[in-house]
Amino acid sequence: MKSPQFSMLFTLVLTAFFSFSWATLPHQSFLQCLSLRSNDSSISKLIFTRTNSSYGSVLDSTLWNLRFNSTNTPKPLVIVTPTQISHIQATIHCSRKHGLQTRTRSGGHDYEGLSSIAKVPFIIIDLVHFRSVDVDVENRIAWVQSGASLGELYYRIAEKSTKLAFPAAVFHTIGVGGHISGGGFGLLLRKYGLAADNVLDAQFIDVNGRVLDRKSMGEDLFWAIRGGGGGSFGIVLSWKLSLVPVPANVTVFSVTRVLEQNATEVVHRWQYIARDLPDEVYSTVILRGINSTQDGRKTVLAIFSSLFLGTINELLPLMEQRFPELGLTRQNCTEMSYIQSLMVNNGLPNQPLEILLNWTVQNSAA
Ligand SMILES: Cc1cc2nc3c(=O)[nH]c(=O)nc-3n(C[C@H](O)[C@H](O)[C@H](O)COP(=O)(O)OP(=O)(O)OC[C@H]3O[C@@H](n4cnc5c(N)ncnc54)[C@H](O)[C@@H]3O)c2cc1C
């Protein structure tokens, strides 16, 4: 008969053995492989294990949803923040060799946390250092690395031209890599389609570490990486984007109606006319339950917001003809540059444009 002390000791040894074999062994041999394979001593500064004091802050740095960093969430054994393509190639090689899955992270905004969690031992390849943006105004193209945020892309375009834009989401801390991989819609959707529709070429690393472009990967894979979901096919390092023209001045408006101001009829009408408005009009309605300012009773607020690629003088007669029920007036409208309209839609009116370069996220626990 075993004593309770013996049983406890046995359990402790067993627990230690399993945590050693699950957490320590693959990670140690992976690290040895990485330092040999990369042939670059500086890579050690780009690797974060759970014993590093900055592991937690690196993990959190772009993690949009803090639910994915709770005590119960599986954590990566290692986070690699490569600065060179060869670092990524070595990481892919060594993780395959040692049976570790990889998760690629660009902006960390994945709704399901797919860039930051896994149910098997895994490592994160965080593209935080792959964030250059090169804008060629003359040829209306830009090369952008996946780790850049949409805000950085928009800022760099506006820095060179206020009459060019890239059709993608408004929210400025979203990463280019995950966004374009999943399609990417924004305010220019009706006029120019998705972000993925405006990609001309890409630099891509496959599972064997080969660096491919559109020609060498072939049209099928090139089609799949533009909307087929990030992380499914390999790692996109950078994208060649087609920039689209926007007028020097666009118009934004926001009109509100509560139930007592015929909101129901106006929303009903909007559902019939919105889709037939010219492609230059992006129009949305948000419905929100509120307490009335008049008598405190519950009511519904309908917020009609729009971005129009043109001037107020062009917009007013158009809306009067197509949507008179809204009663749009000049006072509801503001003309501004396209980049300013993005600031307004980001909830950052009157802020310096440089705020778009700030990609550190205000994490959400939603
Ligand atoms: C607040 C908020 C607002 C949003 N608004 C919009 C919107 O208006 N329009 C819209 O279309 N979407 C919107 N989204 C969704 C967003 O576009 C996607 O979640 C997108 O995948 C985020 O990209 P990321 O690089 O930030 O995310 P990440 O979490 O880094 O990556 C997302 C996925 O792509 C993979 N991936 C990342 N980088 C690469 C790469 N370089 N190569 C291959 N795979 C990669 C990851 O492994 C993961 O599976 C919003 C999300 C949030 C949180």
pLDDT in tens, 225-256: 999 988 899 999 999 999 999 999 999 999 99
pLDDT at 361: 59
d(CA 54, CA 126): 14
pLDDT at 366: 53
- Hey, how many other C-beta atoms are within 10 angstroms of the C-beta on 337? 17
Residue 196 structure tokens:
């993925």
Ligand 1 center–CA 175 separation, angstroms: 6
Judged by average pLDDT, the poorest of 41-45, 87-91, 156-160, 282-286 is 41-45
Ligand 1 center–CA 283 separation, angstroms: 23
Walk me through the domains of the chain, giving residue ranges and CATH numbers: 4-126 (3.30.43.10), 133-246 (3.30.465.10), 250-336 (3.40.462.20)
pLDDT at 111: 93
User: What share of the chain has pLDDT > 90, as a percent?
Assistant: 82
Ligand 1 center–CA 136 separation, angstroms: 25
pLDDT at 66: 86
Tokens 């990889």 belong to residue: 102
Q: Choose which residue among 110, 130, 362, 364 to substitute to test ligand 1 binding: the one with the highest number of ligand atoms within 8 A of its C-beta.
A: 110
pLDDT at 59: 94
The answer, yes or no, to whether any atom of ligand 1 lies below 6 A from the CB of 178, is yes
Residue 221 structure tokens:
């894979």
The answer, yes or no, to whether any atom of ligand 1 lies below 6 A from the CB of 26, is no
253: Cβ–Cβ under 8 A, 6 or more apart, which residues? Answer: 304, 305, 306, 308, 315, 328, 332, 333, 334
Mean pLDDT, the chain, integer: 91
- Which of 222, 149, 138 minimizes the C-alpha distance to 179? 149
Which of 358 and 104 is assigned the larger pLDDT?
A: 104
pLDDT at 39: 84
In the predicted structure, residue 180 carries a pLDDT above the cut 70: yes
Question: Tens of pLDDT along 289-335?
Answer: 999 877 888 999 999 999 999 999 999 999 999 999 999 999 999 99
pLDDT at 15: 42
223: Cβ–Cβ under 8 A, 6 or more apart, which residues? Answer: none
Contact 80, 124 (CB under 8 A): yes
**157: amino acid identity, one letter:** I
- Which residues face 46 on adjacent strands? none
- Which residues face 277 on adjacent strands? none
d(CA 363, CA 356): 16
Please, what's the largest Cα pairwise distance for the chain?
93
pLDDT at 41: 86
pLDDT at 21: 41
Mean pLDDT for the stretch of residues 207-226: 97
Mean pLDDT for the stretch of residues 17-37: 70
The answer, yes or no, to whether any atom of ligand 1 lies below 6 A from the CB of 174, is yes
The answer, yes or no, to whether any atom of ligand 1 lies below 6 A from the CB of 33, is no
Question: Tens of pLDDT along 89-148?
Answer: 999 999 999 999 999 999 999 999 999 999 999 999 999 999 999 999 999 999 999 999
pLDDT at 25: 54
d(CA 140, CA 191): 17
Contact 244, 164 (CB under 8 A): yes
Looking at the chain, the number of H-run helices and the number of E-run strands are: 12, 15
The answer, yes or no, to whether any atom of ligand 1 lies below 6 A from the CB of 226, is no
Residue 89 structure tokens:
């190639």
pLDDT at 323: 97
Mean pLDDT for the stretch of residues 196-213: 98
In the predicted structure, residue 199 carries a pLDDT above the cut 60: yes
pLDDT at 26: 65
The answer, yes or no, to whether any atom of ligand 1 lies below 6 A from the CB of 145, is no
